[in-house]
Amino acid sequence: MLPLKSSATAERRAAPRQAVTYRLDVVAPDAGSGFLLDVSTTGLRARFKPGLDVGSIQSLRIEFPRWLELGKWLDVNGRFVWVRAHEGGVTEAGFAFDGLSRKSEGVLEVLIQRLSEARLEDEADVVR
């Protein structure tokens, strides 16, 4: 018999998250910008500068650096599902994607794969 996981440690997400170790900017139309902390095919977690009105935002733009070779950005629609205020007025928030096209989902899958590969390469460099 396998040990049961407590609800406190069980993963609730439908898709695994990929931590982001390189700066990827997230821009909210007419509302400011932040940076990506982690991403999956179902949503993202980001940290934003002060003054973000999460109630009015229904789309975000994830901007890609050239080395990812994914184009300049990806626009995603969705909604904020949780928000936490931190010291200094910084806001951390979870954004769930709604109605992704197959193309957008494919771009997210490649993004996650490339971020994972880059992280593994960096970890291997540290061990050497």
Cα 108 to Cα 72: distance, rounded to the nearest angstrom: 13
Cα 48 to Cα 22: distance, rounded to the nearest angstrom: 16
- What CATH architecture does domain 18-127 belong to? Beta Barrel (2.40)
Q: What are phi and psi of 108, to 5 degrees?
A: -65, -40
Per-residue model confidence as pLDDT tens digits over 9-65 = 445 556 778 888 888 999 988 767 899 999 999 999 999 887 677 777 789 999 999
Per-residue model confidence as pLDDT tens digits over 105-114 = 999 999 999 9
Other beta carbons within 10 angstroms of residue 80's beta carbon come to 21
pTM above 0.85, yes or no: no
Q: Where are the domains of the chain?
A: 18-127
Other beta carbons within 10 angstroms of residue 10's beta carbon come to 8
